[in-house]
Each structure stands twice: as C-alpha cells, then as structure tokens.
Chains A and B, each alone.
Chain A
Amino acid sequence: MAPQAAEAMARPDVMAIAEIRHFPVVEPGSGNRYSLLKITTRSGLIGWGECGHDPNADLKALQSAWVGRPANAYATIAPSTPFRAALDIAMLDILGKAANTPVYRVLGGPTRNKVRAYGSGEFPVAVIDVPAPASRNQGKAYENRILKLIEAIPADRDFVLAGNGLLTPGDAASVARTVETKHPLWFDEPCSHSNLDTVRKVSGETVAPLGFGEGIDDPGVFQALLREGLVDIVRPDIAIFGINGTRRIAALAEPYYVAVAPRHAGGPVGTAAAIHIAASIPNFFIQHVPGPADERDRAMRREIVSPALETNNGGFLDLPKAPGLGITVNESALEKYHAS
C-alpha cells in the first residue's frame, strides 16, 4: 500500500510539522462559526482538522507546542492543547495520507459499510424539539403538545426527541414517560447532566433511551453516567474530542453495551471525521449531520469541502475511499467565508 511510507516515517524530520494555519469560518445564514486547521509537514503532506469556535483559543500556544514535532503522534496531544480536536483530526488525516489509506483503515476499520445519519429533513430520522416551556412545571397540557408533534409525523418514521436541557427534573421525567410508548430512538438531553440525581430520577422513571453529551468536555462525566446505567447513547462532541478522544469514549462505553452517536454542530471537515469514527468503532449508532436551513450555508459546505460527504444515500452516508479523511478543502472558499 505504501512502500515509501516506512522510509519517510523512519526519518522524523520529514514527518515533523512545518506549519499550522487557522481558518475561522462563519456560515453566512446561520452565523454558525467553526475553526479549520491546516497542518503541513516538512515533506509536504497536508492535513485538515476542525473544532468548535473559541475566540480565546491561543493559536500561538498551539504552534509553539507542535511545530517541529512529529505529525503522526496524535495520541500524545495533551488535553489542554488549544484546538486539540482539530489538531487530532488533521494529524490523522496526515497519518492516513502517509499510509495511503483512509483513516478508518488506519484505525482498524471498516466496521460497517455505511454510516446512519440524521439532522436535516432529507434524512429519514426526524428530530422533534420539545417546545420551549413557557414556565416551569408544565403539566399534562405540555406533554400533550409534545405528543401532538410526534403524532404529526408518520407512525413508522423514527425520531429523536430533543430536550435540549430545557426541562426541569419533574417535567423531563413526565415527558419521558409520556413519549416512551411512541418509541423515540432516544430522548436527547432530557435534563441537565450536571446533577446526577436529576438524571437518576429521569432514568428511573422511563424506559425511553436517554442521550447525553452537550457541553461535556471531561470523559469522567461519561464514566459517571455509564457507571450507574444512566445513559443509553453517549454523545461525545467531535469538536471537543476529535477522532481519538471520541474513540476512547466509545471504548469506555463498549463494556456497558452503550451506543455512541457523536455530537457534531460544525462544518463538513467535522462530518468527514465523524464518518471515520463511525467506520472504526463497533458501537456506533447514528451520526448527526448539521443541515442548515439557509441554502447559502448548504452551498458554503459544498464549496469548502469536496467530495460532498454529507450527501444522504438512503438515510446513510457513504464511506470515502481516498487516503486520509478523503476530502479536499478549497482554501480560497475559506477566505470567502472567513470569520473576522
């Protein structure tokens, strides 16, 4: 596959990072921002990564920590590194290119031949957001409003009920019990995870699968949820954990028989990373793909990354076959959507 790679890898100077560039971008319609990183090795290999927008992230600190170091050693990224998810994804992109194979194969995959996805209207799985409660402790009328939303979609269409952390413990439990016979795929963020007693209450009152991950940046939070059986779908955010960090949380969840559905609210480079995660772990269930409502945003996503990996193919995404992440990033388009 890559007879030349061994030689290149044996000379660490060739695989050293020569340059790290940051491209902050913004979607013109939604205003959603994310950060792309471009890493170039001395040998000229290029890797792309993506992480969430963080105005305080220190690019100079990242550069002084990693320029000159080997571009393949993705496991050694310290958790405190700025842009760490983007760095991790870009380094795996480079590693795949050096090995002339897709990232999922570097990581022991493929474990599946397509990636189930949801997120916009074109995918078969619907997302039903709970209505923003007018006041706390909504009672039966509120539960009936949610039931009406569920009954508005065909009875055989799968759906995720998204609580978005808006509900009180009592309301979250009541809603979960009300909808559980409608068999949602899962109830996402039914309540805040910051108080485990709250999660215990909700989990104890329903058989609806529960998903958590919003804002979690410490794997220990997932461990706490898993240990007590409080979570059915762990949702590590790709923009926080990157590929390796998400795979490590998947490994943590596996002996609890718990599925992984990584969170992803960023751009198309993140989607590419998500596909490689899905195709390299055993306990993947579904991938959220951001589907902006504004056509300008959709055009931007198609413009900055090709091929269009976010294309719905019968409810699934296809696996790329090109080396690394399997994508090409259009740098001039990044300038066009630059977030100043």
Chain B
Amino acid sequence: MRRRNFLALGSAGAALAGTTLAGTKKRPVFQPDAACGCEFQVPAAGAGRGGRGAPAPDAFANLQSGIKITGLKVFGVSLTPDSDRPYVFVKIETNQGLIGWGEGTLEGKAGAVIACVNDFKDFLIGSDPMQVEHIWQSMYIHSFYRAGPVMGSAISGIDQALWDIRGKALGMPVYKLLGGPYDPRGVRGYYHVDGANRDQLIQIRETAGQLGVTCVKAGIPGYYEWIERRPKIDQAIKSIQTYREALGPDIDIAVDFHAKTSPSVASIIVKEVEPLNLLFIEEPCPPENIQAMAKIARRSTTPIATGERLISSYGTRELIEMGVVDILQTDINHTGGITGLWKVAASASVSGISMAPHSCEGPIGGLAAIHVDAAMPNFVVQEICGQVKPNANDKLWEEWLGFPAMRMVDGRFPLASKPGLGFELSEASLAKYPFGGTRPMARVFHDDGSVAEW
C-alpha cells in the first residue's frame, strides 16, 4: 500500500517539477524513483528516519536495553607517515557513557575501510548497541553487494566495538558471554621468526624455551613462478629444513607460503617437507580457488591452513563443507568481527576443522580474537605478528593500552578480567600517529618483469 501511494506521488511529483521549471526556472528537483520507474527501487533508509522506507522505528521499542549509539568515529593510525598498512580503529559512543573500540585494519586499503565505516553511520546512530546480531545482519544484507574485504573489515571494526560495549554493559569479559573459557590460563599463541638465520634461530629456540613459547611461524624465501626450476624448489625445501634443524624437535613450526606458490609448485615442496612434522603449512596457493587448495591438501599429510582472506561464514562455506583443509585462519578484522569469527568456528567444528585465527594488524583485533578463541572447542593456536623478543611495536601497544597487549605469558595470551574486550584506549594516545593516507602495498615482479605474488 505504501509503495503504491509512493509511486503515485512520484509521477505526480515529476509532473509538478516540470511545471515549476517552466514557471520559475528553478533547478528541477531530482526524482530518482520517477526516473528509474523501477519496481525494485526501495526508498533509501537514510531518506528520513521514521519516514518513507525507513525501518519501522518502534519495532523494538518495547525491547530496548536503554543504551543508544550516539557517536561513531573512525581513526586511521599510521605508525610511520608512509605506512602501507595503517591501523583502522573504530570507536562507538553511547548515551550512557559506555565506549566501544574495534579494529577494521585492511592492509593497503585503509582509506576505503574508513570510508566504508562512515557509510554505516546511518545504520548505527540511534540504534541499540546490544542488538549486535541484528545490526550485523542489517549492515551485511542491506548493503546489497554482500561483503568483500573492504566492507567485511568495516563490519568487523563496528562489530568488535559493539561487543566491547555489550560486555561493559553486562559487566563481563566477552569470552564469558560466549560461554568460555576453556582454559582460564589463556589461549596458546605463536610468534613470527621470519628472516632469522640459523644462528638467530638457535637463539630464538633458547628464548622461546625460557618464555614457555611452544610454537612459531616462518616464511619461505623468494617469489615463485607458476612452474619452478630445481634450484628454487631446493632452496625452499632447505629453508624449511633449516627451521626444524635450528629450532629443534620440540617446538611446533608453522610455515607460511603466503600464496606465493601455485598449486603445482606448492605440492612438490609440501611433499618434500612431510618428514619435518610441521604444525601446518599456510596458504600454499591463493585463496579464491577452493578446488586448487583442496588438490594440495589431498596430497599432503602436513595440515594445511588457509582462510585469512575469506569473509564471513559465507566465504568459508565451501572450504568447510569440502572438509579437506585442517585449519582455518579466519581474521577477526575482516571476516565480520566477533560475530563473524564465532560463526566460522562453529561451522568449521562440524567438519572437524581447527581454528588458528590470523592476526597481523593492530592490537585491538588480536585482543578481540582471544575472547572468541577462549570459547571455541576447535581452537588450536592464535597468531600475532610479533617476535619472540618484544620490539618497538610491543612497546607502543603497551603505551596505548597500559598492559603488554598480545604478549604471551607461559606460551599463552592471558584472558582479560575487565568487562568487554578488556582494555581502555584514549584518542589522545593515537593523535601522535595521524593518518598518512593510503599507500600501495609491496609490488614485486619476476626477473622478466611479470607480476609476482608476495
């Protein structure tokens, strides 16, 4: 009924606009619906809160928590002026003074995520932040195009901030709302040992032992063509053998192929390193083609991990139902936040797939992931892109958050005891690192000038 009336008004309005134009030479009023004549053009929600096409304002009037979202801020945080991966932090404010922080860092596309977060302002201001599932669904579905990495990261940042508020409002850390923890001591984690030579690895082994760190991750050297020559393949195999030799038999080693290899090249290397008993091999080929990933996994006894670039449980559905990979590395900053990661983990468990969530961005996403990890039956290990020995980043994060964020104690990331995500962050502390703009990520090429994966 509303639609019929609306369309009738639309054509009358167009006629009126014509008259006005002839009479007064005013600029014609744009009539989008009349111009479209399109049955499916639903009036924009932002066209007027409570007005035409807007969600019925009283649908949840009797079920309100009493908290309302009053502000949405998004921060691009560039640690160096020319950083290619500034952090994107989201701050949500409420009428009751509760503040929520979330992270939507998307490497190389910070500006796009910042814009996308701001696009969701109309979805949020005035809403009840406790209805996180409802808001998530609205952001995902009413955006029509469903989520790719940019929108997924924006939703992730907002979702984490909403969960932070939820936990604070309910007086509990988020992992308790999710039914955790499995282990009150925290969740097992791993650091990175990229670029370390044999001597450094021996040193790392010793330090890791002292710190109780039981797992590390390394990469493979160079860039790989679709088909590779013998020296290149031997070099990759030797580098992985070196990790095992220098780090010893007792530490779990994950090796990140970073999708630098084609399925053809990866399969050869994966087979040769089987005797090393790696914890997993990560992204042995790019992520879009699930069949290609499955082909590698089927011929490997080493667990295969992938999924950091897949968005929401929609993006992981096929991989999970095929049940050929062992570990999903869903990233809480891209997949749709806490809501998204929880759903992927729940689905993956039905296929017996473990979770090793990816975290290589800022501290907020990592801290948020720990809460979900602590309530997962199929959790195996949590990443952080830090080193065994704390570095400048760790120092900065501690300055911001007041505790050594994403540093393990006895091989585990400790659980927060404060409500929400369990930290406080001031805008002032971020002000020293203003947004330096979006810069391209690394561009690498083969000897012949053709594009290489990194």
Partner of B180, one of A1, A73, A99, A111: A73
Chain A binder among B56-64, B71-79, B273-281, B380-388 = B56-64
Nearest-neighbour CB distance to chain A for B38, whole angstroms, equals: 24
Partner of A108, one of B166, B313, B418: B166
* Complex interface residues of chain B between 325 and 355 (CB less than 8 A to chain A): 339, 342-343, 346-347, 349-351
CB atoms of A73 and B181 under 8 A apart:
yes
Interface residues of B in 360-383 (CB under 8 A from A): 375-377
Closest to A110 in B: B63
A141 within 8 A of B: no
Q: Is the CB of A244 within 8 A of B134?
A: no
A226 to B320, CA, bound (A): 12
In the bound complex, do residue B131 and residue A254 qualify as a contact, i.e. CB atoms below 8 Å apart?
Answer: no
CB within 8 Å of B: which A99-128 residues: 99-101, 105-111, 113
A108 touches B133 (CB 8 A): yes
* A111 contacts B137, C-beta separation under 8 Å: yes
Q: Which residues of B contact A227 (CB under 8 A)?
A: 321
| B375 contacts A75, C-beta separation under 8 Å | yes
Q: Cβ of B170 and Cβ of A248 under 8 Å apart?
A: no
Q: With the chains together, A95 CA to B179 CA distance in Å?
A: 9
Q: How far is the CB of A332 from chain B (nearest CB, A)?
A: 32
What does DSSP make chain B's interface, helix, strand, loop or mixed?
A: helix
A1–B179 Cα distance when bound, in Å, is 19
Determine if B180 and A76 form an interchain contact, defined as CB atoms under 8 angstroms apart.
yes
Complex CA gap A319/B170 in Å reads 19
- Is B176's CB under 8 angstroms from A108's CB? no
| Residue from B131, B137, B178, B313 within 8 A of A251 (CB atoms) | B313
Specify which chain B residues have a CB less than 8 angstroms from the CB of A251 in the assembled complex. 313, 342-343, 346-347
How would residues 258 to 286 of chain A score, 1 for a CB under 8 Å from any chain B CB and 0 otherwise? Answer: 00000000000000000000001110000
For chain B, residues 307 to 327, give those with C-beta under 8 angstroms from any C-beta of chain A: 312-314, 316-317, 321
If A75-B377, A282-B137 touch, does A108 touch B339 (CB 8 Å cutoff)?
Answer: yes
Q: How far apart sit A257 and B136, CA to CA, in the bound complex (Å)?
A: 16
User: Complex Cα distance A111/B63, Å?
Assistant: 10
The residues of B that contact A223 with a CB separation of less than 8 Å are 321, 350-351
Q: Is A12 an interface residue when CB atoms closer than 8 A count as contact?
A: yes
Question: Chain A residues near B173 (CB, 8 Å)?
Answer: 9
Q: Judging by beta carbons under 8 Å apart, are B184 and A6 in contact?
A: no
Taken together as a complex, chains A and B put the C-alpha atoms of A253 and B324 apart, in Å, by 20
Q: Render A172-184 as a binary contact track against B, CB cut-off 8 A, 1 for contact.
A: 0000000000000
B65 interface residue, CB < 8 Å from A? Answer: yes
- Are A109 and B347 interface neighbours, CB within 8 A? no
Closest chain B residue, CB of each to CB of A99? B170
- The listed residue with most B CB atoms (<10 A of its CB), out of A4, A6, A10, A98, is A6
* Contacting pair B134 A75 (CB below 8 A): no
Are A111 and B170 in contact (CB-based, < 8 A)? Answer: no
14 A-B contacts (beta carbon < 8 Å): A1-B170, A10-B417, A72-B176, A73-B180, A105-B130, A106-B170, A108-B130, A108-B339, A111-B131, A111-B134, A219-B349, A255-B317, A282-B137, A321-B62
Interface residues, chain A, CB within 8 Å of chain B? Answer: 1-7, 9-10, 12, 72-76, 91, 95, 98-101, 105-111, 113, 219-220, 222-223, 226-227, 244, 247-248, 251-252, 254-256, 280-282, 319, 321
